[in-house]
Amino acid sequence: MLSVAVKLLLRQIDRTAITILMLVPVVALLISSNMVASGYLQQAAVPVNLVQPSSAYVAYQPGSATPSSGSVSYDAFVRIQGSGVSSAVPLLSFPSIVSDGARSANASVLGTNTTTFTETRNSIVSGEVAENGSQADAGAIIAKVLGIKVGDNLTVDAFSRTQTLTVVGILNSTDQSDTGLILPLSSSWALWPQTANKISYVEFVATDQGAISSISKNMTVIREQGIGQIALSFGGQTASLLASWTLILLALSAAAAFAAASRVATEVSQEYKTVRALGARLSAAQALVFYELLLVSGASVLIGVSAGIVSTSILATLLKALDGLSLSPSIDVVQMVVLGTASFLLILAAGSFSLLWLPWKVGEGGDAP
């Protein structure tokens, strides 16, 4: 039966060629999109794997909107310090109104271990680091806004209590502390008793995941650098877009395969009628048409896969040469085999479905199935 099908296909070589040519672009497009998608995802995965975010973290009261708005006991800092972290700094932050007599502004007061603070943040210090009672350092931006200079006296109003502080240095850390006043933690507690023995959050550096997990049990911990999350998120976006794109293509390919296979079945109905007229059983006639479908599908998929690989490679080279676009299609043999087999089965299934209708198409059936 197979040899008869081959002979029939060869006898109608022009018709067979047109049918195969119609199926080839569908398969080639699937292969091509798969190569581009694989290449893109591989490219996207590289930066994600290269990303090494900083090991600096912030731990604060669970449920508070921001680290500064939280309030935990100083003991929390002591526990973190003793849990195997590389370094830790306690920070107490509260809002205040700072005035130099002529001008005033809203600014945060930051109580901390000033020496460790300036070291870990690589602060540029103009003057001295505040170390006792009524001394404070002004952040570079608040100093510029209010025109504060070393030696100036400032009034700081917080918790309905006004204190006078002497500025002994200007700190430029190029971070948010530049918009506030920095003073020793002990001074903050003494000047504003409402804050005694309290801190807002702890900044720490740790590479030991066990230590981080341990701290996370009692406090909210966030990493101070989000590059890892950004890279992961971008990779996810690309993968999602490509997955949607592939799904659209698969749906379209299915529709196209069904239409093309239906056409194959219709075109071979002449042979079907001939063999039926010669007395062949219905099953034998359908088998003949099925073999023809099998051969046409196999040839289409083989040529389609090859055409997809060749055309994508040529297109990538052309786009790189003409547009400078770096598109690196990737050939994954396993995926090619899976896609090729899936296309083959898809065309065959669509053709077989159409085959069921063949007796009715040629007018020898009763009621349609």
Partner 1 sequence: MSFAQTARMLSRKRAIFSLVLILLATSAAFSVTSSIFLSVENTASGMLGESGGTIVVAQGDSRTPFTGTLPLALASDLGSVAGVQVISPEVLAPSTLSNQPVMVLGVDPERFMQIQSPAILEGSPITPNDTDQAMVGETLAKEMNLHPGSEITLVGGVRATIAQLTVKAVFSTGTPLDNEVVAPLWVGDWLRGLSYGTVSILRVEVGAHQNPSQVALQVQRIIKNATGASAGGGPSPIEAYLPIASSLTSLAGLDIQASPDASSAFFSRSLGLSQEVVWLVSALVFLSMSVAIVCVIQEAVFRSRNELGILRTIGMSSRRLSWNLVAVATSVSFVVSVAGLLVGWALLTLVAEFSPIQLAFYTVDPRSALLLASLVSVSVVTVTGFAAAAFSSLRFTQPLTVYAMTLPYQESDPGAISE
Binding site for partner 1 (CB under 8 A): 22-23, 25-26, 29, 32, 53-54, 56, 58, 65-69, 105-108, 140-145, 170, 172, 174-176, 178-179, 222-227, 229-230, 233-234, 237, 240-241, 244-245, 248-249, 251-253, 255-256, 258-260, 262-263, 266-267, 319, 323-327, 361
Q: How far is the CB of 278 from partner 1 (least distance, A)?
A: 22
Residues 348-361: b if buried by 16+ CB within 10 A, e if exposed: bebbbebbeebbeb
Q: In the complex with partner 1, which residue's Cβ is closer, 184 or 308? A: 308
| Least distance to partner 1, CB of residue 229, Å | 5
Query: Least CB distance from residue 199 to partner 1, whole Å?
Result: 15
**Shortest distance (Å) from residue 125 CB to partner 1:** 13
Say if CB 45 and CB 283 are below 8 A apart.
no
| Closer CB to partner 1, 259 or 310, in the complex | 259
Terminal CA-CA length for the chain? 25
* Residue 108 in tokens: 């945060």
Smallest distance from partner 1 to CB 163, Å: 20
CB-nearer residue toward partner 1: 262 or 335: 262
Contacts of 127 (CB under 8 A, 6+ apart): 137, 150, 167, 168, 169, 170
The angle, 0 to 180 degrees and rounded to 10, between the axes of the packed helices 333-356 and 282-323 is: 140
Closer to partner 1 at the Cβ: 78 or 248? 248
Query: Closest CB to partner 1 among 51 and 190?
Result: 51
Taking the least distance from each CB to partner 1, the nearer of 75 and 175 is: 175
Which residue in this structure is represented by tokens 């005033």? 104
Closest CA to 129 of 142, 146, 144, 116: 116
Q: Using alpha carbons, list the distances in angstroms from residue 264 to 196, 232, 281, 359.
A: 86, 47, 21, 14
Instruction: Report, in Å, the least distance between residue 258 CB and partner 1.
Output: 8
CB of residue 170 vs partner 1: minimum separation in angstroms? 8
Contact indicator for 146, 105 with CB cutoff of 8 Å: yes
Task: Using the minimum distance from each CB to partner 1, give the nearer residue, 58 or 287.
Answer: 58
The residue among 52, 81, 55 whose CA lies nearest residue 208 is: 55
